[in-house]
Structure 1
Amino acid sequence: MTITLLKPYKGNTWELELDDSGELQFLHVQIVTRFQLCTGMELTPEQWQTVQESELSRKAYQHACYLLDRRGYSYMEMFRKLEPKYPEQVCYAVTDRLASLGLINDQAYAEQTAHYYVEVKHFGLHRARQEMRRRGLLDSHITQALEPYARQLEENLQALVAGKYAACFADPRDRKQIEKGKAALVRRGYGFGEINRAVAWYQEQLEEE
């Protein structure tokens, strides 16, 4: 196959036409320069495939960098984000490159998300783990990231019981309201045992007052 047309199109994009297809192809100037493409150049099918794969990898990498400018990603989360648009091997190559450059770091990302779910969202351990798994993080990273928050989780639960859900637990005789409050805390990821202890603590505070 022969390149019958190659010229600038818009910005950093060049248009290219091959004699065997008649269809215009669009490549970034970086790809044109890397492969030293020019009008009249002969390419084998394998060479053209390499050019196309390089263009896809460049697009995928730029897309990934755009996403990372907005927020952090785990390795698997980034892979899942790229997979619908790019071939599997391109997704792995790009994600590996990001990890090698330190732009993706699962342990650091686990620490960021643990801070968010515990200190900002005030989720319990179960809900925090669930949300972190959804972001593609391994259990080993999740456990390590959540370990420093053991005391914080207890304090968060007490604050929720005495604050946001105080009305549910103010009257120990109102079983309906108490169960309603407990159900809300379960949805936030707290266990029944720790909820019962926090409620008992709060009601003891009320009695002392």
Structure 2
Amino acid sequence: MRITTLGSHKGNTWKLELDDSGELYFLHVSIVQRFQLRQDMELTQAEWEKVQQAELARKAYQYACYLLDSRGYSYQEMFHKLEPKYPEAVCYATVNRLAKYGQINDRVYAEQTAHHYIEVKHFGFYRARQEMRRRGLLDAQIDEALEPYGERTEEILMELICRKYRKYFLDPDDRRTVEKGKAALVRQGYGFHQINAAVRTFFEEVSMNEE
């Protein structure tokens, strides 16, 4: 196959046409330069496939960087984000490139998400684990990231009750309202034992303040 048309199209994009198809292709200038493409150049099918693969890899990497500008991603999460748009081999090559240069790092990402879910969202470990698994992190990475918060669970839960759910526990005799508050804390990812202990402590503090 022969390149019949090759020239600048828009910005860093060049247009290319092959004599065997008449179809226009659009390549980044870096790909044109990398493969030293030129007008009337003859290409084998294998050579042309390498050019197309390189262009796909470039696009996949640029898309991944665009996503990373907004927030962090785990290795698995990024792969699944790329998968609908690019071939599997391109997806693996892209996430491996990101990992190689530290643009994705599951250990660091696990620490960041643990901080977000525990310190910012005030989730219990159960809910935090669910969310972290959903983001493609492995159990070992999750366990390591959550470990520093183990001794602060009660403190964080009390902060949550005082900040957001205080209205449910102002009257210990209003069992219906108290149970609604406990159900809300269950949805936040806390266990019944943790919730009951924290609510008892809250009742004691309210009682002491009223005396």
TM range (shorter): over 0.9
Tell me the CA shift for residue 167 of structure 1. 2.0
Query: In structure 2, how many angstroms separate the alpha carbons of the residues matched to 1:56 and 1:34?
Result: 14
Q: Which residue of 2 aligns with 1:165?
A: 165
Query: In structure 2, how many angstroms separate the alpha carbons of the residues matched to 1:13 and 1:162?
Result: 57
How big is the alpha-carbon RMSD for the aligned residues of Structure 1 and Structure 2?
A: 1.0
Tell me the CA shift for residue 174 of structure 1. 1.3
Question: Which amino acid is 1:49 matched to?
Answer: E
Q: Which residue of 1 aligns with 2:7?
A: 7
Tell me the CA shift for residue 208 of structure 1. 2.3
1:19 is aligned to 2:19? yes
3-state SS of the aligned residue for 2:164? coil
Question: Which amino acid is 2:191 matched to?
Answer: G
Q: Which residue of 2 aligns with 1:133?
A: 133
TM-score by length of 1: 0.97
Question: Which amino acid is 1:91 matched to?
Answer: C
Q: Which moved more, 1:65-74 or 1:193-202?
A: 65-74
Change (3 A) 1:19 1:129: same
- Cα shift readout 1:167-186 (whole Å, capped 9, x = no counterpart): 21122221101110001001
Gaps of 5+ in 1: none
Question: Which amino acid is 2:134 matched to?
Answer: R
- Cα shift readout 1:19-47 (whole Å, capped 9, x = no counterpart): 01001100011111111111111111111
Query: In structure 2, how many angstroms separate the alpha carbons of the residues matched to 1:72 and 1:167?
Result: 35
Identity of aligned residues (%): 66
3-state SS of the aligned residue for 1:86? coil
Query: In structure 2, how many angstroms separate the alpha carbons of the residues matched to 1:42 and 1:195?
Result: 72
Query: In structure 1, how many angstroms separate the alpha carbons of the residues matched to 2:93 and 2:83?
Result: 12
Question: Which amino acid is 2:28 matched to?
Answer: H
Equivalences, count: 209
Tell me the CA shift for residue 120 of structure 1. 0.7
3-state SS of the aligned residue for 1:5? strand
TM-score by length of 2: 0.96
Alignment of 1:1-209 (within 5 A): 1-209=1-209
3-state SS of the aligned residue for 1:7? strand
Gaps of 5+ in 2: none
3-state SS of the aligned residue for 1:163? helix
3-state SS of the aligned residue for 1:38? coil
Query: In structure 1, how many angstroms separate the alpha carbons of the residues matched to 2:59 and 2:163?
Result: 49
Query: In structure 2, how many angstroms separate the alpha carbons of the residues matched to 1:155 and 1:5?
Result: 68
3-state SS of the aligned residue for 2:17? strand
- Cα shift readout 1:56-103 (whole Å, capped 9, x = no counterpart): 000000111111122111001111111111111100000001001111
Question: Which amino acid is 1:68 matched to?
Answer: L
3-state SS of the aligned residue for 1:109? helix
Query: In structure 2, how many angstroms separate the alpha carbons of the residues matched to 1:9 and 1:162?
Result: 61
3-state SS of the aligned residue for 2:146? helix
3-state SS of the aligned residue for 2:4? strand
